[in-house]
Chain A
């Protein structure tokens, strides 16, 4: 089956090897007989709710985020509509921040957000840099870990009642204090974790693909497992790094 992916601002937001995430989604879809079609969505482009099954938005440096924030905010309404209509989404780092309500930078200026995630972000003095390990439960009773790398000056605060992506086992997470990382809203996932995220956490790639297919067919398929020995080995090393050196300034 064809899975339509809308990649938001790939020219601007690609700082932490975001194309690695796209490569993993593409290959793992193909190994299950599905074809990923990735369309770049940039400034001035139209975003039609229902046209895509999955959205992806990556991270950028401050300058790129400033350059792109107004154009992204302009796409806010159709993007929110697409996701509430059932499209899946993965937002990483800068993209995660910009999909919140607002981002306040160090000089106190506020960048407008998309308002897709119930959260806001405030720039702090010290960057939170290092390996991270999370425990997630995206499906009831299925606890899984996510290993990645974080590098952000922004402190992200979830609204009361908002659902985080996971609990921090090692690392800083959203703001270094709450003990939680990321945000989940239905089929939309926002996180600071790059590395890139999906190669060493293939279960999340499969979850996103299943959600994208569910948007299309009405039901999330259960995939046959793949030979993920290399992925498991990479996850193991990354998780070990988080345990021994994550969450330290």
Chain B
């Protein structure tokens, strides 16, 4: 599909390209005026329809090239961290609101005139096509977990597509992979410019593999791996007792990790160029992985260690992933949940802090959330039950979510089903004492709706305005 752009001279398309771009940019403005949300993908979709090869040529204009980030979990946060690190270094074209299909990348390219470097988070399934079109300078691959099987198909399928995409990468493209994920770490095998990152702190290992662990069997021979330490799902220090396939040597490592509840984390960042202590103001072990990925990626782009550390320490939160919003005399803490592995880490982080007494969970089943909601039964919500006094279940599949907690053992009179999001938010706030914090766990489209709702009440700027800022 990407052949057209590679075989025609760029110059010949100059004039039509700029006309298309002008049209697509106008569409962004119109879509915003029409109230269709941020207009973040409308111009890209239009351009994509008018001329699919235009994406390739727009990207080719970036003087410093493009870097791609993909993963089941953490791609938005990793990209946001990398953007923070790169801010003093280069003007970025960055799809920061998470529109991560080819059309989203096209929209980000259209919206950033004068950008020097492209930084794009890319949907796992869209990675092969985006990589083929953009011929990136660097590709950072974080992890593969079961996620929206109705949309992506089975994990093996995504892994096979990634393997094919990596094989097609130009030899000079820097490849950055998470060595703690057996499927992803194995992609470094045979690639000349590979960097492997991972975590080394057995104090934070789970006593057993979590229920949501996926790649438990050796990628080479199918024997169950033995884990020296399993950190998140199947991420950890593994070795196959049968054929010896093991976690590769780590180039960029996090050691001596300290978790400070919901307030943040700190760790020792080790790179071949030196080490430094990093203090992050976002919580959870999963954010150590995100920070490692961002550090390894920006290092591969030539950013020095002190700039990397400064960027990570200046990072606050990615869009909707961990956001505190003041709502009058209460605060709303929003943590996105979208699949078992990610939701488990959200639960683990909440429990390690001051576990909530009131919880608002919003479960939608649109395409972006996954139409199959069975994943909520794979999440270990149980650790929350110790402190939970009231659950407000909302969203299109509120009743299903309520059942998840009922069969986990939460008394039925502690569960309120309020399908409408605005009413549920009001109810959650009503149950939250003045000065206290309401924790909300929305799925993706529910997160967008919740943010819009709060923006409508004047407490936060719409994300397209932030993106433009």
Contact of B400 among A15, A63, A237, A245 (CB under 8 A): A237
Whether A237 and B396, one on each chain, are in contact in the complex, defined by CB atoms closer than 8 angstroms, is yes
Listed by A's residue number, 21 A-B pairs whose Cβ atoms lie within 8 Å are: A15-B149, A17-B378, A19-B378, A20-B404, A23-B407, A27-B407, A27-B409, A129-B372, A130-B371, A131-B371, A149-B371, A149-B373, A195-B373, A230-B402, A230-B403, A231-B403, A233-B399, A234-B400, A237-B396, A237-B397, A237-B400
B376 proximity list for chain A (CB < 8 A) = 17
Assembled-state Cα–Cα distance A234/B396 (Å):
10
Other A-B pairs beyond A231-B403, A233-B402, A237-B396, 17, CB < 8 Å: A16-B149, A16-B374, A17-B375, A19-B377, A27-B407, A61-B154, A63-B156, A149-B150, A149-B373, A151-B150, A151-B372, A199-B407, A227-B412, A230-B399, A230-B417, A237-B397, A241-B365
B399 touches A15 (CB 8 A): no
Among A17, A127, A199, A237, chain B packs the most CB atoms within 10 A around the CB of: A17
A24 vs B408: C-alpha distance when bound (angstroms): 9
Contacts of B403 in A (CB 8 A): 199-200, 230-231, 234
Determine the chain B residues whose CB is within 8 A of the CB of A131 once the complex forms: 371
Smallest Cβ-Cβ distance to A16: which chain B residue:
B374
Q: How far is the CB of A41 from chain B (nearest CB, A)?
A: 17
User: Which of A20, A23, A27, A237 interacts with B399 by CB under 8 Å?
Assistant: A237
Task: Give bound CA distance, A151 to B396, whole Å.
Answer: 21
Is residue B338 within 8 Å, beta carbon to beta carbon, of the partner chain? no
A-B residue pairs, 8 tightest by C-beta: A17-B377, A20-B377, A233-B399, A234-B399, A17-B374, A61-B154, A23-B407, A199-B403
Residue of A nearest to B217 (CB): A67
Q: Are B211 and A19 interface neighbours, CB within 8 A?
A: yes
User: Is A238 among interface residues, defined by CB-CB distance under 8 A?
Assistant: yes
Chain A positions 58 through 100: 1 when the CB is less than 8 Å from some CB of chain B, otherwise 0: 0001111001000000000000000000000000000000000
CA gap between A64 and B222 in the complex, in Å: 9
Decide: B400 and A199 in contact? CB cutoff 8 A.
Answer: yes
Decide if B146 touches A238 in the complex (CB within 8 Å): no
**A62 to B146 Cα, complex, angstroms:** 13
Known contacts A20-B374, A237-B400, A230 near B154 by CB under 8 Å = no
In the assembled complex, the CB of B221 is this many whole angstroms from the nearest CB of chain A, namely: 10
With CB as the reference atom, state the residue of chain B lying closest to A18: B377
CA A216 to CA B308, docked complex, whole Å: 66
B71 to chain A, nearest CB (A): 19
Is B461's CB within 8 Å of the partner chain A?
A: no
Which B residues touch A20, using CB under 8 A? 374, 377, 404, 407
Q: Nearest Cβ in chain A — how far from B242, in angstroms?
A: 13
What's the Cα separation between A64 and B216 when bound, in Å?
Answer: 10
Nearest CB on B from A43, distance (A): 10
> Smallest CB–CB gap between B214 and chain A, Å?
9
CA distance A159 to B374 in the complex (A): 30
B5 sits at the interface (CB 8 A): no
Interface size on B, residues (CB 8 A): 34
| Residues of A close to B150: CB separation below 8 A | 129-130, 149, 151
CB distance from B303 to the nearest CB of A (A): 38
Give Cα A151–Cα B374 distance, bound, in whole angstroms.
Answer: 12
Instruction: Knowing A230-B412, A234-B399, say if A195 contacts B156 (CB, 8 Å).
Output: no
Query: In residues 385-412 of chain B, which contact A (Cβ within 8 Å)?
Result: 396-397, 399-400, 402-404, 406-409, 412
Residues of B within 8 A of A130 (CB): 150, 371
Could you tell me the distance between the alpha carbons of A24 and B374 in the complex, rounded to whole angstroms? 14
The CB with the most chain A CB atoms within 10 A, among B156, B365, B374, B397, is that of B374
B153 in complex: contacting residue of A67, A127, A194, A234, CB < 8 Å: A127
Classify chain A: how many residues form its interface, as a range.
35 or more
Q: For the complex, what is the distance from the CA of A233 to the CA of B415, rounded to whole Å?
A: 14
Within 8 A of B (CB), among A146-178: 149, 151
**Distance from A22 Cβ to chain B, minimum over Cβ atoms (Å):** 10
- A196 beta carbon closer than 8 Å to chain B: yes
Enumerate chain B residues within 8 angstroms of A23, measured Cβ to Cβ.
377, 407-408
**Interface membership of B155, Cβ < 8 A:** yes
Between A15, A230, A236, the greatest number of chain B beta carbons within 10 A of the residue's beta carbon is seen for: A230
A 230-249 contacts with B by CB, 8 A = 230-231, 233-234, 236-238, 241, 245
**Residues of chain A lying within 8 A (CB to CB) of residue B377:** 17, 19-20, 23, 196, 199
A149 with B156, Cβ < 8 A, contacts A19-B211, A234-B400 known: no
With the chains together, A64 CA to B376 CA distance in Å? 21
* C-alpha spacing A237/B417, complex, angstroms: 13
Please provide the chain A residues from 1 to 37 with a CB less than 8 Å away from any CB of chain B in the complex.
11, 14-17, 19-20, 23-24, 27
Q: Which of B211, B216, B400, B404 gathers most chain A CB within 10 Å?
A: B400
Which one of B146, B154, B408 has the highest number of Cβ atoms from chain A below 10 Å of its Cβ? B154
Q: Which residues of A contact B415 (CB under 8 A)?
A: 230
In the complex, residue of chain A having the shortest beta-carbon distance to the beta carbon of B401: A234
Whether the pair B374, A195 counts as a contact (CB closer than 8 A) is: yes
Binary per-residue interface labels of chain B (134-171) against chain A in the complex, 1 for a CB within 8 Å, 0 otherwise: 00000000000010011001111000000000000000
Complex CA gap A236/B373 in Å reads: 15
Taking CB atoms, residues of chain B closer than 8 Å to A238 are 400
In the complex, the answer to whether B407 meets A194 with C-beta atoms within 8 Å is no
Question: Are B371 and A24 neighbours in the complex by a CB distance under 8 Å?
Answer: no
With a cutoff of 8 Å between Cβ atoms, the chain A residues found around residue B211 in the complex are: 14, 19
B149, B365, B371, B400: the one contacting A200 at CB < 8 Å is B400
**What are the interface flags for B400-435 relative to A under an 8 Å C-beta threshold, 1 for contact and 0 otherwise?**
101110111100100101000000000000000000
Output the nearest chain A residue to B153 by Cβ-Cβ distance: A127
A63: B residues at CB distance < 8 A: 154, 156, 217, 222
Residues of B within 8 Å of A241, CB to CB, are 365, 371
Complex Cα gap A151–B154 (Å): 10
What is the bound-complex CA distance between A230 and B417, given in angstroms? 9
Contacts of B399 in A (CB 8 A): 230, 233-234, 236-237
Across the interface, name the chain B residue whose C-beta is closest to A28.
Answer: B407
Give B341-375 as 1s and 0s: 1 = Cβ < 8 Å from A's Cβ atoms: 00000000000000000000000010000011111
Please indicate the chain B residues that have their CB under 8 angstroms from the CB of A199 in the complex. Answer: 377, 400, 403-404, 407
Residues of B near A231 (CB, < 8 A) are: 403
**Interchain CA distance A3-B191 in the complex, whole Å:** 54
Closest chain A residue, CB of each to CB of B376:
A17
Contacts of A67 in B (CB 8 A): 217, 222
